[in-house]
Structure 1
């Protein structure tokens, strides 16, 4: 039998500018950007991050994934020089790699303080929850380089805040403070800077208490119906509801409710 090889095998040998921490007891995995002081995200790291999200998605020990960073800043963005050196084929995969958190079936939290620029903002936008602090500044500054966001940033942002605010952010390279991002619906929560870790811990524990099957279903349904008409979205919601109706987790949830106890979901 012919032995198969794949570039992914070597890509996961050594992470470029980040690390992965798995806490099996808390069913949590942290992807930690670790290239201080600005945590620049290199070209190789983009593909590695995709592979890590895919690997953690397949890991039964992990329920929730957290994307965070060392130091005062989440990320100042990508490696500018890398854009000029990358081939057109490589650049064409940027948005697919950065969309990995959205494709992941598990809840993904982006916890950011300080700069969250460029690809750092784009990968945060692909996450399900964004926790900001008083120091957080979100920006898509590519116009200053004679370029536009290339990893889904302007598209995702427009869905969240509309075309007028997105043009203001993208075309003027404006920085949006954490509090304003929360007011606009970009950030799920905005806390004092010293509270970022505690707020992240609380959200992780809250999400872990729900049925993993119901959460996977809800995430996929919401992602898939974002561009759907109301009638199509309601139809798909009904199909998903019907499928969950026969799940063990739903039966456990109903029995726990009537028994006035906490449910013990197993994801089936």
Structure 2
């Protein structure tokens, strides 16, 4: 049964507009944006989300993290007025905070339905998997405010879909559908709106079946080599492969394969 998480850090004593629950039996943590009706993300919430991901990364009971929005929408974006109230120094940390899911060594799934705008889109782009529905609308609307995306949105998007599509989304504040996002390689899956939670549950169960050590290694390798030369990426892949060769999980995986049984991975 999932229980509300408690954190030692006093800065997380009262979460601003989101909740965190942990289901130790399912090795799962859920970070749920909860600021009705559109789950606006405050400046404080950005700081707290970074701290939460860092804490969950250290929690041995958690294997997979899911980020979702309560209700009909993931998030309509940030607290617009908060940008004028925040100092330039504070604003300069926004991208670092929202990149916390990427830095987290564990798989992170974004469950996107309804509006997924601004920082909501950027937070999702920082996750490893994005599951969209037919109601999902992604957008980076900052041009309408005389601004640009400031939490990694345009940079991550350009890596995924190229400069032409990114210019179309960023410079026109253009909304794209969940289906377009899937067709372009932004979303990992597209499902019926009513099936979103079921699809997330299935992905969580699938990921838990793999070696946590191999998953951590794969995530870090892919992140580190995303903009590396091919020769560098292949060299790093070889070093990671060699290191996993000596792991208990690899030995267990090979034995289980030959014995025609499900492996029991321990993360070492």
SS of the counterpart of 2:206? helix
SS of the counterpart of 2:9? helix
Number of paired residues?
A: 261
Provide the TM-score with structure 2 as the length reference.
0.97
1:149 — aligned with what?
Answer: 149
* Structure-2 separation of matches of 1:83 and 1:122: 16
Aligned ranges 1:45-124 → 2 under 5 Å:
45-124=45-124
CA deviation vs aligned residue, 1:123-153 (integer Å, no higher than 9, x gap): 0000000000000000000000000000000
SS of the counterpart of 1:182? helix
- Give the gaps of 5 or more residues in structure 2: 1-7
| 1:10 Cα deviation after fit | 2.8
* Structure-1 separation of matches of 2:97 and 2:218: 22
| 1:254 Cα deviation after fit | 0.2
Query: What value does the CA root-mean-square deviation take over the aligned residues?
Result: 0.7
| 1:11 Cα deviation after fit | 1.5
2:227 — aligned with what?
Answer: 227
Provide the TM-score with structure 1 as the length reference.
0.97
* Structure-2 separation of matches of 1:243 and 1:69: 38
1:197 — aligned with what?
Answer: 197
| 1:9 Cα deviation after fit | 3.0
The 4+ residue runs of structure 1 with deviation greater than 6 A are none
2:3 — aligned with what?
Answer: none
2:17 pairs with 1:17: yes
- Give the gaps of 5 or more residues in structure 1: 1-7
* Structure-2 separation of matches of 1:125 and 1:16: 21
CA deviation vs aligned residue, 1:50-101 (integer Å, no higher than 9, x gap): 0000000000000000000111000000000000000011000000000000
SS of the counterpart of 1:110? strand
